[in-house]
Amino acid sequence: MLTNLEIHSKFALASCLMVLGIAAVVSISWVIGEPEIAGFGAKYIPMAPLTAILFCLLSLTVIAQIIGPRRAANRALFYVFLLAVGSLCILDLVDFCLEDPFDFEAPLLPNPEPFGKVMVGRISPIASACFLLATIASGLLTYFRGSRKSFVNDILSILASILIFANIVFILGYIYGAPLLYGGTVIPVGLSTSIAFIFLGGAIIFTNGPEHLPLSLFTGATTRAILLRAFVPVSVLLVIGSNIFMAYAKSYLNIQDALLSAISTLVAMLVTGFIIFQIAKQIGSSLDKAEKALRESEQRFKSIFENSLDGIFLSSSHGDILKANPAACAMLNRQEGDILASGRDSFVDLDDPTYYESVETRKLTGKFRGEVNFRRKDGSTFPADIASVTFEDTSGAVRAITVVRDISERKMAEKEKENLTTQLAQSQKMQAMGTLVAGIAHDFNNMLQVIVGYCEILLLGKKEGEQDFAELQTILKTAQQEAELVKRLITFSGKGAVKKVPVDLNDRISDVATMFLRSFPKEIVIRFQLAQNLSLIEADPDQIDQVIINLAINAQEAMPDGGTLVFETLDSHTDGDYVMFSLSDTGRGMDQETLARVFEPFFSTKQRDSRRGTGLGLAVVQGIVEKHGGSITCESAVGSGTKFRILFPSVQSDA
Over residues 233-261, the pLDDT tens digits come to 767 776 667 666 666 666 666 666 666 66
- The count of domains in the chain is 5
pLDDT score recorded for residue 45: 78
CATH number at residue 356: 3.30.450.20
128-152 burial, b if ≥16 CB within 10 A, otherwise e? bbbbbbbbbbbbbbbebbeeeeeeb
- 40 or 184, higher pLDDT: 40
Give the mean model confidence (pLDDT) for residues 51-67: 87
Q: Please calculate the CA angle 24-28-34 and round it to the nearest 5 degrees.
A: 130
pLDDT score recorded for residue 608: 45
* Rounded Cα gap, residues 443 and 450, in angstroms: 11
Asked if residue 462 and residue 347 are part of one domain, the reply reads: no
Is residue 607 predicted with pLDDT exceeding 60? Answer: no
Q: Answer whether residue 301 is part of any domain.
A: no
CATH number at residue 642: 3.30.565.10
Asked if residue 518 and residue 449 are part of one domain, the reply reads: no
- Are 103 and 50 in contact by the 8 Å Cβ rule? The answer is no
- 114 or 267, higher pLDDT: 267
- Are 22 and 55 in contact by the 8 Å Cβ rule? The answer is yes
Task: Count other C-beta atoms under 10 Å from residue 533's C-beta.
Answer: 6
DSSP state of 529: E
pLDDT score recorded for residue 609: 44
* Rounded Cα gap, residues 175 and 433, in angstroms: 108
Asked if residue 273 and residue 355 are part of one domain, the reply reads: no
Over residues 329-341, the pLDDT tens digits come to 999 999 998 989 8
Pairing between strand 642-649 and 578-585?
antiparallel
* Rounded Cα gap, residues 78 and 84, in angstroms: 10
Is residue 584 predicted with pLDDT exceeding 90? Answer: yes
Is residue 652 predicted with pLDDT exceeding 70? Answer: no
Please tell me the least confidently modeled range out of 114-118, 158-162, 326-330, 596-600.
114-118
Q: ω before 214 within 30° of 0 (cis)? A: yes
- Are 333 and 378 in contact by the 8 Å Cβ rule? The answer is yes
Asked if residue 127 and residue 65 are part of one domain, the reply reads: yes
- Are 310 and 405 in contact by the 8 Å Cβ rule? The answer is yes
Is residue 84 predicted with pLDDT exceeding 60? Answer: yes
Which of 375, 406, 437 is the last residue before a domain boundary? 406
Q: In sequence order, which residues have a C-beta less than 8 Å from that of residue 400 and are 6 or more positions away? A: 313, 314, 315, 316, 317, 362, 388, 389, 390, 391
User: Which of 527, 443, 441, 521 lies closest to 489, judged by CA?
Assistant: 441
Q: Answer whether residue 72 is part of any domain.
A: yes
Secondary structure (3-state) at 511 = helix
Asked if residue 560 and residue 452 are part of one domain, the reply reads: no
- The pTM (predicted TM-score) of the whole model is 0.44
CA 250 to chain centre: 71
Q: In sequence order, which residues have a C-beta less than 8 Å from that of residue 147 and are 6 or more positions away? A: 153
Asked if residue 367 and residue 438 are part of one domain, the reply reads: no
Give the mean model confidence (pLDDT) for residues 628-651: 92
Average per-residue pLDDT for the chain: 80
Q: Answer whether residue 103 is part of any domain.
A: yes
Asked if residue 472 and residue 357 are part of one domain, the reply reads: no
Question: How does residue 18 score in pLDDT terms, banded at 50, 70 and 90?
Answer: very high
Q: Please list the residues that pair with 644 across neighbouring strands.
A: 583, 634
| CA distances in angstroms from 136 to 61, 156, 166, 585, listed in the order given | 12, 8, 16, 92
What's phi and psi for 570, nearest 5 deg? -165, 160
Domain coverage including residue 388 = 308-406
User: Which of 133, 156, 160, 134 lies closest to 143, judged by CA?
Assistant: 156
Residues comprising the chain, all counted: 655
CATH number at residue 426: 1.10.287.130
pLDDT score recorded for residue 586: 94
Q: Answer whether residue 299 is part of any domain.
A: no
Is residue 547 predicted with pLDDT exceeding 80? Answer: yes
List the beta strands (DSSP E) in 187-244. Answer: none
Asked if residue 179 and residue 82 are part of one domain, the reply reads: yes
User: Which of 64, 51, 43 lies closest to 22, judged by CA?
Assistant: 51
Give the mean model confidence (pLDDT) for residues 592-601: 82
What's phi and psi for 452, nearest 5 deg? -60, -45
Asked if residue 201 and residue 72 are part of one domain, the reply reads: yes
Over residues 339-395, the pLDDT tens digits come to 898 888 888 888 888 888 888 888 888 889 999 999 998 888 899 999 999 888 877
Largest CA distance in the chain: 166
Which of 406, 437, 456 is the last residue before a domain boundary? 406
User: Which of 218, 172, 229 lies closest to 195, judged by CA?
Assistant: 172
78-102 burial, b if ≥16 CB within 10 A, otherwise e? beebbeebbebbeebbebbeeeeee
Asked if residue 333 and residue 463 are part of one domain, the reply reads: no
- Are 355 and 349 in contact by the 8 Å Cβ rule? The answer is yes
Helix H, strand E, coil C: the string for 100-135 is CCCCCCCCCCCCCCEECCEECCCCCHHHHHHHHHHH
* Rounded Cα gap, residues 582 and 633, in angstroms: 10
| CA distances in angstroms from 511 to 410, 549, 566, listed in the order given | 45, 11, 16
pLDDT score recorded for residue 184: 53
Question: How does residue 503 score in pLDDT terms, banded at 50, 70 and 90?
Answer: very high
Give the mean model confidence (pLDDT) for residues 217-243: 70
Which residue type does 471 have?
E
Q: Please list the residues that pair with 385 across neighbouring strands.
A: 371, 405
Asked if residue 235 and residue 99 are part of one domain, the reply reads: no
Which of 371, 406, 441 is the last residue before a domain boundary? 406
Which residue type does 287 have?
L
Over residues 128-160, the pLDDT tens digits come to 899 999 999 888 888 776 665 677 888 888 898
Asked if residue 426 and residue 360 are part of one domain, the reply reads: no
- 483 or 114, higher pLDDT: 483
Secondary structure (3-state) at 570 = strand
Q: Percent of the chain scored above 90 by pLDDT?
A: 18
Which residue type does 178 have?
A
pLDDT score recorded for residue 437: 65
Q: Answer whether residue 166 is part of any domain.
A: yes
Give the mean model confidence (pLDDT) for residues 36-52: 78
Give the mean model confidence (pLDDT) for residues 317-321: 83
| Sign of the alpha-carbon torsion through 638, 640, 642, 645 | negative
Q: Answer whether residue 429 is part of any domain.
A: yes
Q: Answer whether residue 235 is part of any domain.
A: yes
**Residue 315: its H or E element:** strand 311-316
Q: Answer whether residue 300 is part of any domain.
A: no
298: number of CA atoms within 13 Å, CB side? 6
Q: In sequence order, which residues have a C-beta less than 8 Å from that of residue 152 and are 6 or more positions away? A: 140, 144
* Rounded Cα gap, residues 613 and 553, in angstroms: 11
- Are 159 and 137 in contact by the 8 Å Cβ rule? The answer is yes
Secondary structure (3-state) at 587 = coil
Please tell me the least confidently modeled range out of 77-81, 184-188, 264-268.
184-188
